[in-house]
Amino acid sequence: MSHGGNIYQFARRLGCLPEQVLDFSANINPVQAVDLTCLLKVQLTPYADPDYSLLKQAINQRYPTPEGIDIELFNGASAAIFALLRGLQPKDVVLYAPLYGEYAHIAGKLGCQVHSINRFNHLKADIPERSTVIFVNPSTPDGQLYDMQDLLARWQAADCTTIIDESFLDFCETDSVAGHIKHYNKLYVIKSLSKFYGCAGIRIGFVLAETAAIKELQRLEPAWKLSSLDMAYMRQALANTAFIEQTRQQTAHLRDLLHHALQDSGLFDKIYPGQANFLLARLANGEASAPAHAPRLRPVGDGYQLQTLLEPSRILIRVCDNFEGLDKSHVRFAVKDEQAIARLSRSLKEIRL
């Protein structure tokens, strides 16, 4: 199951409804900033404003950018990646892996030469001059938050076009690199709004870049692409400023709970120190010894076996073997609410090996 699992297939196999699945596989905030009643006044008949002025205003209020930096909206970050790479037509694409599989997938389809750098071991590896670099910060599936200053300087020195995906940055206190665009005109920022705002069903994402670069990107875009319902929802979600700090605090607290649940299960010999709304963990293989304070390790085989063992509890998890540099001992868990984490914790402990 790529793309953070497919609860629909999973539910069909278990003979239950998708909403009965406890989905730890998709890293989406389980809390929303507004409820659906905000949609009842939307005017569906007319075409939306083709400039998306009100939505852009709301985005600009939430993510202010200096003069000379512009925005292009897309029906989701996945559409934005496609449009951006199609527009840039890079010969060489450098991916800092592991990362969201869609990047390699799209670069491959577009016929780019894909170079992969393992950011765990070779963060400072040399890169081809004038290549197109793609970096996700905080990263997925491990949630590491990187200090971008040095990296940006190195990519700029190599005259690279640089794409930074900040879809999970809202979970951290850190500033966007968008401010650098005015000194580095080959820098692009991609952002999905669905992760932080808890709405994968809403298809809105955007690209920030220098005004001329955005103009070029718009050249091959259709006249209308965003749903009026999605726009109305997102405008109101973005306006809920209290939600930002609440979500950060709540996520940090729940991530701690999840960390304990994973550690206490004795199934994992490593839990990555993630800063976003998910945690990557590695299943113990029975060889490594557990840290002194941890319970005895219980090797469970691989992530697929764990997935099967959790099926009776209707819990879906994400095995990370299709992330380059990881294997099927790596499993990702989204940060969910207390009740869900308690259920996961119980199910992990009840696994009889």
> Which candidate, 124, 123, 132, places its Cα nearest to that of 98?
123
Quote the tokens at residue 215.
Answer: 């103009």
What values do phi and psi take at 338, rounded to 5? -55, -45
- Count of residues touching a second copy (by CB under 8 A): 58
Measured from the CB atom, the residue of 3 and 248 that comes closer to a second copy is 3
Q: Which stretch binds a second copy (CB under 8 A): 71-79, 207-215, 254-262, 277-285?
A: 71-79
**Of these, 13, 147, 223, 293, which contacts a second copy (CB under 8 A)?**
223
In the list 95, 148, 178, 226, the residue contacting a second copy (rule: CB under 8 A) is 226
Question: Rounded to an integer, what distance in angstroms lies between the CA atom of residue 267 and that of residue 271?
Answer: 11
Q: Which is nearer to a second copy, 3 or 182 (by Cβ)? A: 3
- Contact pick of 13, 121, 147, 201 for a second copy (by CB under 8 A): 201
Rank residues 221 and 311 by Cβ distance to a second copy and give the closer one.
221
Interstrand relation of 132-136 and 92-97 (parallel, antiparallel or unpaired):
parallel
Q: What is the DSSP letter of 176?
A: P
- The CB-of-125 to a second copy minimum distance in angstroms stands at 29
Considering only residues 100 to 129 of the shown chain, the ones binding a second copy according to CB under 8 A are 102, 106, 109-110
Shortest distance, position 151 Cβ to a second copy, whole Å:
27
Tell which residue, 202, 203, 204, 196, has the closest CA to residue 241: 196
The distance of closest approach from Cβ of residue 44 to a second copy in the complex, given in angstroms and rounded to an integer, is 4
3-class SS at 332? strand
Quick one: CA torsion of 253, 254, 257, 259, rounded to 10 degrees?
Answer: -100
Q: Does 213 bind a second copy (CB under 8 A)?
A: no
Nearer Cβ to a second copy (2/149): 2
CB-wise, 162 or 228, nearer to a second copy? 228
Q: Which of 4, 138, 274, 303 binds a second copy (CB under 8 A)?
A: 4
Q: Is 237 helix (H, G, I), strand (E, B) or coil?
A: helix
Ramachandran quadrant class, 203 (left: phi over 0; alpha: psi -120 to 50; beta: rest): beta
CA angle 193, 199, 201 (to 5 degrees): 110
For a second copy, the binding residues in 9-68 under the rule CB under 8 A are: 18-19, 23, 26, 28-30, 32, 36-37, 39-40, 42-51, 53
Q: Which residues contact 227 (CB under 8 A, 6 or more apart)?
A: 75, 203
Identity at 268, one-letter amino acid code: F
How buried is 264 (Cβ within 10 angstroms: 0-12 exposed, 13-18 middle, 19+ buried)?
Answer: middle
What is the binding site for a second copy (CB under 8 A)? Answer: 3-4, 6-8, 18-19, 23, 26, 28-30, 32, 36-37, 39-40, 42-51, 53, 75-76, 78-79, 81-82, 86, 102, 106, 109-110, 198-203, 219-230, 233
